[in-house]
Amino acid sequence: MNKQRIGIIGTGIMGEPMARNLMQASYPLCVFSRTKTKADALVQEGAEWMDSPAALARNVDVVISIVGDSPDVEQVYCGPSGVCETITEGMLCIDMTTIAPETAISVACEVEKRGGIFLDAPVSGGKTGAQAGTLSIMVGGKEANVTRAKPVFDALGKSTVHCGPNGHGQLTKLCNQILCGLNLLGVSEAIVLARRAGLDPEKMLQAVSGGAAGSWALENLGPRMLARDFAPMFMIDLQQKDLRIALNTARENGVPLPGTALVQQLLAANQAIGEGREGTQALVKTLQRLANFD
Amino acid sequence: MNKQRIGIIGTGIMGEPMARNLMQASYPLCVFSRTKTKADALVQEGAEWMDSPAALARNVDVVISIVGDSPDVEQVYCGPSGVCETITEGMLCIDMTTIAPETAISVACEVEKRGGIFLDAPVSGGKTGAQAGTLSIMVGGKEANVTRAKPVFDALGKSTVHCGPNGHGQLTKLCNQILCGLNLLGVSEAIVLARRAGLDPEKMLQAVSGGAAGSWALENLGPRMLARDFAPMFMIDLQQKDLRIALNTARENGVPLPGTALVQQLLAANQAIGEGREGTQALVKTLQRLANFD
């Protein structure tokens, strides 16, 4: 069976393992990255280097982009030597970066003007999910196009949900980040109170994890906080980018999000003292500093 | 086998089904309740009515109290015709109310002065957990006493964790409520943004539930919010009592809990318009009102 040729734009923390999973699934792969050295390992493993998004799009059936932020996605598609310069009729463009919903909609519009198809398909699951191919994929776009992209998604994730038209994948991801942020704050506050009040925090986690207080954050970030392991599962700087988009989107929709705003402000305190590249679980350190202990 | 006689003080939403599970487990049961009619059903089912906590304690080997708040527990143990008047050497007293840790410690002291044994053992799991006998029980007290009480706990819950000395069961429960409160706020904010931005909130829940955003609250309260079902799993008024204790305890320990305080203030807005007896998932209504929609 002749598989579709896929081109990946962006071979960072997420893009690199995702590219590897696509090669594993026997997709012929092209790669482009702003920093060429970031693609070296993939090229050695058999991916073909392309000199620009435009060059990549000329050589593939499916473009997948996973870069930094909204302006990067605009640049990759609509900038000089961007994907839009070489889009062919019916080409599938899947952006998996977390960006502003309105950017997803405007890029979709540019891609479709040129006969291409656009899906916004941000992911949850972080580096480990990308490596294991167990990402949760939240897709915005037309049903038929989501169906067409399904085999590609299946190589990358364990769950793909079609959330609505373009932009709705991104909106869903923002909801995801709101939930992650507040669950994280709960775990941090519970642990700081436990520590300060002399309670054994491991006993506390054990006692509350199975019930109504339970969450992914409690199970995965709680033990890391206790072990003072702040290596990133997901980096504070990235969570802040996502929460900034969530708060902007909320404001544009006339929705106050007081809890999300609080999480964002407290994580800003981590960033202010140089902890932005630590994992989000480092939020517990901000709360400990508020309570005047380490 | 001659089972120990148990006396239950407080036959409300939690106490009544717990009493029933103890009778099911063949424990001879005495009951006392401030409002006698609340014990009528249990008495018809074979429990023996006692006219006061003191009368009850005179007739049993194990006292279990599950009443309203800290002053009620003090009253039941240390007030006129209280348990302390008739405690016998080695009698086991288990308070399962959620109260202030310092009250648990002071009542424990009074009980032990008279030769009794005290455990603070608040629970999580609500009415349904009490009925099904699947409560999570968080125990403070001496190890040997917890071991002695274990068969009783096993008749009431699916998990019993010994968290530390007296007061530590209560501290653990406060951590539990902090977690529940912030997880709840996350679900509420995510749903309000989804609704307001035109996203299908059911699709959103489906897309995010299995990943890093997942929680008991998302799975259990999210669908109720969408169905506008505000019948209590756990009542706002009770959550507010627990959060008040958590915030007091935090203040006494020099711990700011900005997220918990925010949840408490937002739930106060529910109470202010008469929604205190609804389930905590009604928090979503406060956030919707902030965003000027129902």
What is the per-residue pLDDT across A94-132, written as a single tens digit (0 to 9) for each? 999 999 999 999 999 999 999 999 999 999 998 889 999
- A200: nearest Cα among B238, B143, B155, B240: B143
Nearest to A173 by CA among A264, A100, A259: A100
Residues A210 and A246 in one domain: yes
* Selected residues 13-42 of chain B with any CB under 8 Å from a CB in chain A: none
CB atoms inside a 10 Å sphere around CB B55: 17
Cβ distance B132 to B155 under 8 Å? no
| Domain-located, residue A161 | yes
Contact (CB, 8 A) for B149 and B169: no
Predicted confidence (pLDDT) at residue A1 exceeds the cutoff of 80: no
Q: Which helix (H) or strand (E) holds A76?
A: helix A70-78
CB environment B258-288: b (16+ within 10 A), e (fewer): ebbbbbbebbeebbeeebbebbbbbbbbbbb
Distance CA B9, CA B30 (A): 9
Count Cβ–Cβ pairs < 8 Å, chain A vs chain B. 268
* Percentage above 70 pLDDT, chain A: 99
Report if residue A1 sits inside a domain: no
For residue A125, the chain B residues in CB contact (below 8 A) are 211-212
Q: Which positions of chain B have pLDDT values less than 70?
A: 1-2
Same structural domain, A20 and A116: yes
Closest CA to A140 of A113, A182, A109, A114: A109
Residue at a domain's end among B105, B133, B165: B165
- Nearest residue of A to residue B263, measured between CA atoms: A259
- Sorted by sequence, the CB contacts under 8 Å of residue A171 that are 6+ apart come out as A101, A140, A163, A164, A249, B193, B194, B197, B199, B204
Q: B216, A220: Cβ pair inside 8 Å?
A: no
pLDDT score for A20: 98
Q: Are residues A102 and A75 in the same domain?
A: yes
Residue A159 at interface with chain B, using a CB cutoff of 8 Å: yes
**Exposure of A70 by Cβ count < 10 A (0-12 exposed, 13-18 middle, 19+ buried)?**
buried
Q: Where are the beta strands (DSSP E) in B10-57?
A: 29-32, 48-49
Are residues A171 and B194, on separate chains, in Cβ contact within 8 Å?
yes
CATH number at residue A136: 3.40.50.720
* Residue among B179, B192, B290 minimizing CB distance to A208: B179
Q: Are residues A15 and A159 in the same domain?
A: yes
Q: What whole-number distance in Å separates Cα of residue A27 and Cα of residue A3?
A: 6
Q: Residue A178: list chain B partners with CB under 8 A.
A: 186, 189-190, 193
State whether B163 and A207 contact (CB < 8 Å): yes
Domain boundary pick from B113, B138, B165:
B165
Residues B39 and B143 in one domain: yes
Check residue A2 and give its pLDDT: 66
Residue A247 and residue A140 share a domain: no
Which domain-ending residue is among B145, B165, B185?
Answer: B165
Cβ atoms B179, B242 nearer than 8 A:
no
Residue A134 has a pLDDT of 95
Measured between beta carbons, the chain B residues lying within 8 angstroms of A217 are 212, 215
Burial class (CB in 10 A: 0-12, 13-18, 19+), B186: buried
Q: Are B162 and B186 within 8 A, CB to CB? A: no
Chain A residues with CB inside 8 Å of B170's CB? Answer: none
In a domain, B265, yes or no: yes
**Whether residues A155 and A188 fall in one domain:** no
pLDDT number for residue A3: 85
Task: Tokens for B189, please give them.
Answer: 């904010």
**For the domain that residue B243 is a member of, what is the CATH number?**
1.10.1040.10
Whole-number pLDDT of residue B16 = 97
**Confidence at residue B94, expressed as pLDDT on a 0 to 100 scale:** 98
By C-alpha distance, which of B213, B119, B238, B101 is closest to A179? B213
Q: Mapping DSSP to helix (H, G, I), strand (E, B) and coil, where does residue A233 land?
A: coil
- Taking the C-alpha atoms of residue A206 and residue A189, their distance in angstroms, rounded to an integer, is 16
Task: With CA atoms as reference, report the closest residue to B65 among B115, B105, B119.
Answer: B119
Q: How much is the pLDDT for B204?
A: 98
Q: Is residue A198 part of a domain?
A: yes
**How far apart (Å, rounded) are the C-alpha atoms in residues B78 and A132?**
59
CA atoms A92, A97, A101, A107: torsion sign: negative
Whether residues B251 and B159 fall in one domain: no
Give how far B282 is from chain A: nearest CA, Å: 16
Q: Which residue of A has its CA nearest to B209?
A: A176
Residue B1 lies in a domain: no
Containing B136, the helix (H) or strand (E) segment is strand B135-140
Nearest to A163 among B124, B125, B204 (CB): B204
- Residues 232-291 in A contacting B (C-alpha not used; CB under 8 Å): 234, 246, 249-250, 253-260, 262-263, 266, 287, 290-291
Question: CA of B43 to nearest chain A CA: how many angstroms apart?
Answer: 31
Hey, of B208, B226, B283, B290, which one would you mutate to test binding to chain A, going by the most A CBs within 10 A of its CB? Answer: B208
User: Is B30 a domain residue?
Assistant: yes
Q: Are residues A77 and A49 in the same domain?
A: yes
CA distance A208 to A204: 6
Domain that holds residue A144: 6-165
**Rounded to two decimals, what is the model's pTM?**
0.97
**Domain match, A151 and A179 both:** no
- DSSP labels for B171-225? HHHHHHHHHHHHHHHHHHHHHHHHHHTT--HHHHHHHHTTTTT-BHHHHHTHHHH
| Cβ-contact B202, B226 below 8 angstroms | yes
Does one domain contain both B159 and B104?
A: yes
Query: Tell me, what's the pLDDT at A294?
Result: 84
Predicted confidence at residue A56, as pLDDT, reads 98
Interface list for A 114-153 with B (CB within 8 A): 124-126, 129, 136, 138
- A140 assigned to some structural domain: yes
Half-sphere exposure of B163 (CA within 13 A, CB side): 35
| Structural domains of chain A, count | 2
Residues of A serving a catalytic function are 173
Q: Does residue B114 sit within a domain?
A: yes
* Separation of alpha carbons A64 and A51, rounded Å: 16
Residues A23 and A156 in one domain: yes
Q: What is the pLDDT of residues A36-53, one digit of tens each?
A: 999 999 999 999 999 999
| Beta-carbon separation of B212 and A216 below 8 A | yes
pLDDT on residue B1: 52
Q: Which residues contact B270 (CB under 8 A, 6 or more apart)?
A: B236, B276, B278, B282, B283, B285, B286
Helix/strand number for chain A, H first, E second = 14, 9
Indicate yes or no: CB of A159 within 8 angstroms of CB of B249. no
Contact B193 A174 (CB under 8 A): yes
